[in-house]
Amino acid sequence: MAGCSCKDKDVNIVCRCEDITIEEVRAYIDKGITDLEQLKRLLRVGMGPCQGRTCTPVIVREIAAATGKPVGEVPLTAFRPPTAPVKLGVLARGEEDD
């Protein structure tokens, strides 16, 4: 694994897009960072091509376990799509979208 500094031991990748291990996530949680938005900003989890579809549920379970909260009470991050939707007809005609 190119970006991983964990050589010669089992590595548990939680965010495949950003190559972040569950151990890295747990280390931040152990430091008291139990907000998913903060973890996203610090570790870049959920910021890759999958937009957190793979790692977010795992990280939310880790936060819930560490804080004693039910999974449903762990706040999720805001979804921010990278682009605005454009109607196909607008593209086909070459018009400006309103």
Enclosing H/E stretch for 15: strand 13-15
Is 23 a domain residue?
yes
- Cα distances (Å, whole numbers) of residue 60 to 22, 27, 42, 64: 12, 15, 15, 6
Is 85 a domain residue?
no
Is 57 a domain residue?
yes
Give tens-digit pLDDT for 16-30. 999 999 999 999 999
* CATH code, 52: 1.10.10.1100
Rounded CA-CA distance 8/70 in Å is 35
Is 33 a domain residue?
yes
Mean per-residue pLDDT of the chain: 85
How many structural domains does the chain have? 1
Is 84 a domain residue?
no
The pTM assigned to this predicted structure is 0.70
pLDDT of residue 97: 55
Token pair listed for 34: 């139990």
- 3 state DSSP class of 54: coil
Is 86 a domain residue?
no
pLDDT of residue 1: 40
CB 29 within 8 A of CB 66: yes
Structural domain of residue 54, as residue ranges? 13-76
Give tens-digit pLDDT for 31-54. 999 999 999 999 999 888 888 889
pLDDT of residue 2: 46
